[in-house]
Structure 1
Amino acid sequence: MAEENDEETWELRLYVAGQTPKSVTALANLRKHCEQHLKGRYKIEVIDLLVNPQLAEGDQILAIPTLVRKVPEPIRKIIGDLSNEERVLVGLDVRPLTSK
Protein backbone atom coordinates (compact mmCIF):
# COMPACT_ATOMS: atom_id res chain seq x y z
CA MET A 1 0.00 0.00 0.00
CA ALA A 2 1.36 3.37 -0.97
CA GLU A 3 0.90 6.23 1.46
CA GLU A 4 -0.05 9.68 0.31
CA ASN A 5 2.32 11.37 2.78
CA ASP A 6 5.36 12.85 1.11
CA GLU A 7 7.09 12.78 4.49
CA GLU A 8 7.12 9.98 7.01
CA THR A 9 5.16 10.12 10.23
CA TRP A 10 7.28 10.89 13.28
CA GLU A 11 6.85 8.32 16.04
CA LEU A 12 7.50 9.82 19.45
CA ARG A 13 7.35 7.99 22.76
CA LEU A 14 7.10 9.93 26.01
CA TYR A 15 8.03 8.05 29.18
CA VAL A 16 6.43 9.40 32.36
CA ALA A 17 5.75 8.18 35.90
CA GLY A 18 2.15 8.97 36.70
CA GLN A 19 0.48 12.35 36.33
CA THR A 20 3.16 14.43 38.02
CA PRO A 21 3.30 18.15 37.19
CA LYS A 22 6.53 17.58 35.24
CA SER A 23 4.98 14.73 33.22
CA VAL A 24 1.84 16.73 32.43
CA THR A 25 3.97 19.73 31.42
CA ALA A 26 6.20 17.56 29.22
CA LEU A 27 3.20 16.13 27.34
CA ALA A 28 1.61 19.56 26.90
CA ASN A 29 4.89 21.03 25.62
CA LEU A 30 5.43 18.07 23.28
CA ARG A 31 1.96 18.43 21.78
CA LYS A 32 2.48 22.16 21.31
CA HIS A 33 5.85 21.71 19.57
CA CYS A 34 4.47 18.93 17.34
CA GLU A 35 1.42 20.96 16.33
CA GLN A 36 3.65 23.90 15.41
CA HIS A 37 6.35 21.99 13.55
CA LEU A 38 5.04 18.51 12.61
CA LYS A 39 1.31 19.14 12.17
CA GLY A 40 -0.40 16.03 10.84
CA ARG A 41 2.89 14.11 10.68
CA TYR A 42 3.38 12.72 14.18
CA LYS A 43 2.18 10.09 16.62
CA ILE A 44 2.74 10.39 20.36
CA GLU A 45 2.74 7.29 22.54
CA VAL A 46 2.75 8.00 26.28
CA ILE A 47 4.16 5.22 28.44
CA ASP A 48 3.48 5.43 32.16
CA LEU A 49 6.27 3.56 33.92
CA LEU A 50 4.15 3.24 37.06
CA VAL A 51 1.84 1.02 34.97
CA ASN A 52 4.45 -0.66 32.73
CA PRO A 53 7.87 -0.39 34.41
CA GLN A 54 9.30 -3.17 32.23
CA LEU A 55 9.02 -0.93 29.15
CA ALA A 56 11.80 1.36 30.45
CA GLU A 57 14.42 -1.26 29.68
CA GLY A 58 13.77 -1.43 25.93
CA ASP A 59 14.63 2.23 25.37
CA GLN A 60 17.13 2.35 28.25
CA ILE A 61 15.20 5.00 30.17
CA LEU A 62 17.21 6.30 33.12
CA ALA A 63 15.25 9.45 34.00
CA ILE A 64 11.72 10.72 33.49
CA PRO A 65 10.11 12.35 31.72
CA THR A 66 12.08 11.19 28.67
CA LEU A 67 11.05 11.69 25.06
CA VAL A 68 12.28 9.11 22.54
CA ARG A 69 12.12 9.69 18.79
CA LYS A 70 11.67 6.23 17.26
CA VAL A 71 11.02 7.34 13.66
CA PRO A 72 12.71 8.82 11.73
CA GLU A 73 15.89 7.05 12.72
CA PRO A 74 18.35 7.41 14.34
CA ILE A 75 16.66 7.14 17.73
CA ARG A 76 17.08 10.31 19.78
CA LYS A 77 16.24 11.07 23.42
CA ILE A 78 15.46 14.22 25.35
CA ILE A 79 15.11 14.26 29.13
CA GLY A 80 13.03 16.86 30.97
CA ASP A 81 9.75 18.75 30.70
CA LEU A 82 10.41 19.86 27.09
CA SER A 83 9.80 23.51 27.96
CA ASN A 84 12.81 24.78 25.99
CA GLU A 85 11.45 24.70 22.43
CA GLU A 86 14.81 25.30 20.77
CA ARG A 87 16.42 22.46 22.73
CA VAL A 88 13.56 20.12 21.80
CA LEU A 89 13.72 20.99 18.10
CA VAL A 90 17.51 20.58 18.03
CA GLY A 91 17.32 17.39 20.09
CA LEU A 92 14.72 15.86 17.76
CA ASP A 93 16.38 17.33 14.67
CA VAL A 94 13.18 19.12 13.65
CA ARG A 95 13.61 22.00 11.28
CA PRO A 96 11.33 24.84 12.37
CA LEU A 97 8.72 25.88 9.84
CA THR A 98 9.58 29.27 8.44
CA SER A 99 6.17 30.16 7.00
CA LYS A 100 5.03 33.54 8.30
Structure 2
Amino acid sequence: MTPYSFRLYVAGQTERTEAAVRDLRWLCESALPGRYELEIIDVVERPDLAESEGILIAPTVVRLMPLPQRWAFGDLSDRHRTSAALGFPVMEEAGSGGDRW
Protein backbone atom coordinates (compact mmCIF):
# COMPACT_ATOMS: atom_id res chain seq x y z
CA MET A 1 0.00 0.00 0.00
CA THR A 2 1.28 3.41 -0.96
CA PRO A 3 1.55 5.85 1.95
CA TYR A 4 0.12 9.30 1.36
CA SER A 5 1.51 12.54 2.73
CA PHE A 6 -0.43 15.81 2.82
CA ARG A 7 0.38 19.35 3.90
CA LEU A 8 -2.57 21.60 4.75
CA TYR A 9 -1.96 25.35 4.79
CA VAL A 10 -4.46 27.33 6.88
CA ALA A 11 -4.74 30.96 7.99
CA GLY A 12 -5.19 31.31 11.75
CA GLN A 13 -7.57 29.60 14.12
CA THR A 14 -10.92 30.24 12.47
CA GLU A 15 -14.10 28.31 11.72
CA ARG A 16 -12.88 27.95 8.14
CA THR A 17 -9.62 26.42 9.40
CA GLU A 18 -11.47 24.01 11.67
CA ALA A 19 -13.76 22.99 8.80
CA ALA A 20 -10.81 22.42 6.44
CA VAL A 21 -9.00 20.24 8.99
CA ARG A 22 -12.17 18.29 9.75
CA ASP A 23 -13.04 17.78 6.08
CA LEU A 24 -9.54 16.66 5.10
CA ARG A 25 -9.22 14.30 8.07
CA TRP A 26 -12.61 12.79 7.19
CA LEU A 27 -11.52 12.21 3.59
CA CYS A 28 -8.22 10.68 4.67
CA GLU A 29 -9.81 8.41 7.28
CA SER A 30 -12.47 7.30 4.82
CA ALA A 31 -10.20 6.64 1.84
CA LEU A 32 -6.77 6.03 3.40
CA PRO A 33 -7.19 4.71 6.95
CA GLY A 34 -3.77 4.23 8.51
CA ARG A 35 -1.99 5.11 5.25
CA TYR A 36 -1.51 8.85 5.47
CA GLU A 37 0.37 11.62 7.23
CA LEU A 38 -1.03 15.12 7.61
CA GLU A 39 1.00 18.20 8.46
CA ILE A 40 -0.85 21.44 9.20
CA ILE A 41 0.91 24.75 8.58
CA ASP A 42 -0.60 28.02 9.84
CA VAL A 43 0.51 30.69 7.36
CA VAL A 44 -0.14 33.39 9.96
CA GLU A 45 2.56 31.83 12.14
CA ARG A 46 4.81 30.81 9.22
CA PRO A 47 4.45 33.43 6.47
CA ASP A 48 8.02 32.67 5.34
CA LEU A 49 7.10 29.05 4.57
CA ALA A 50 3.91 30.06 2.77
CA GLU A 51 5.86 32.53 0.64
CA SER A 52 8.65 30.09 -0.20
CA GLU A 53 6.06 27.43 -1.17
CA GLY A 54 4.02 29.90 -3.24
CA ILE A 55 0.88 29.56 -1.12
CA LEU A 56 -1.55 32.36 -1.98
CA ILE A 57 -4.86 30.84 -0.82
CA ALA A 58 -5.78 29.27 2.49
CA PRO A 59 -6.82 26.63 2.94
CA THR A 60 -4.60 24.85 0.45
CA VAL A 61 -3.81 21.14 0.55
CA VAL A 62 -0.74 19.71 -1.16
CA ARG A 63 -0.43 15.97 -1.68
CA LEU A 64 3.31 15.49 -1.29
CA MET A 65 3.36 11.71 -1.77
CA PRO A 66 2.86 9.75 -3.84
CA LEU A 67 4.29 11.81 -6.64
CA PRO A 68 3.32 13.77 -8.62
CA GLN A 69 2.23 16.47 -6.21
CA ARG A 70 -1.42 17.48 -6.41
CA TRP A 71 -3.21 20.52 -4.99
CA ALA A 72 -6.68 21.50 -3.77
CA PHE A 73 -7.65 25.06 -2.83
CA GLY A 74 -10.37 26.76 -0.84
CA ASP A 75 -13.46 25.00 0.48
CA LEU A 76 -12.69 21.31 1.07
CA SER A 77 -16.25 20.28 1.93
CA ASP A 78 -17.05 19.12 -1.62
CA ARG A 79 -15.87 15.53 -1.24
CA HIS A 80 -15.96 14.71 -4.95
CA ARG A 81 -13.98 17.77 -5.99
CA THR A 82 -11.41 17.48 -3.21
CA SER A 83 -10.86 13.74 -3.60
CA ALA A 84 -10.50 14.09 -7.38
CA ALA A 85 -8.11 17.05 -7.07
CA LEU A 86 -5.91 15.16 -4.61
CA GLY A 87 -6.05 11.85 -6.49
CA PHE A 88 -7.67 9.80 -3.76
CA PRO A 89 -8.38 6.16 -4.59
CA VAL A 90 -11.92 5.48 -5.78
CA MET A 91 -14.25 4.66 -2.91
CA GLU A 92 -17.37 2.63 -3.52
CA GLU A 93 -20.51 2.99 -1.49
CA ALA A 94 -22.33 -0.21 -0.58
CA GLY A 95 -24.78 -1.01 -3.35
CA SER A 96 -23.85 2.02 -5.42
CA GLY A 97 -22.45 0.16 -8.37
CA GLY A 98 -19.10 1.93 -8.23
CA ASP A 99 -20.08 5.53 -7.65
CA ARG A 100 -17.48 7.56 -5.80
CA TRP A 101 -18.49 8.62 -2.30
- Give TM class, smaller chain: 0.7 to 0.9
Residue correspondence of structure 1 range 35-46 to structure 2 within 5 A:
35-46=29-40
What is the TM-score with the length of structure 1 in the denominator? 0.87
Q: Relative to structure 1, is the Cα distance of residues 76 and 58 closer, same or farther in structure 2, using a 3 angstrom cutoff?
A: farther
Aligned to 1:96: 90
Number of matched pairs: 94
Identity %: 41
Q: Which runs of 5 or more structure 2 residues have no equivalent in the other structure?
A: 95-101
Moved beyond 4 Å, runs of 4+: none
Q: CA RMSD in A?
A: 1.3
2:71 corresponds to 1:70? no
Deviation (angstroms), 1:72: 0.7
Q: Provide, for residues 36-88 of structure 1, a one-character-per-residue CA deviation record: whole Å limited to 9, x for no partner.
A: 00111001100011111111133311110100111011111111131000001
Corresponding residue for residue 17 of structure 2? 23
Q: Any unmatched runs of 5+ in structure 1?
A: 1-6
Which structure carries more relative contact order (alpha carbon 8 Å, separation 6+)? 1
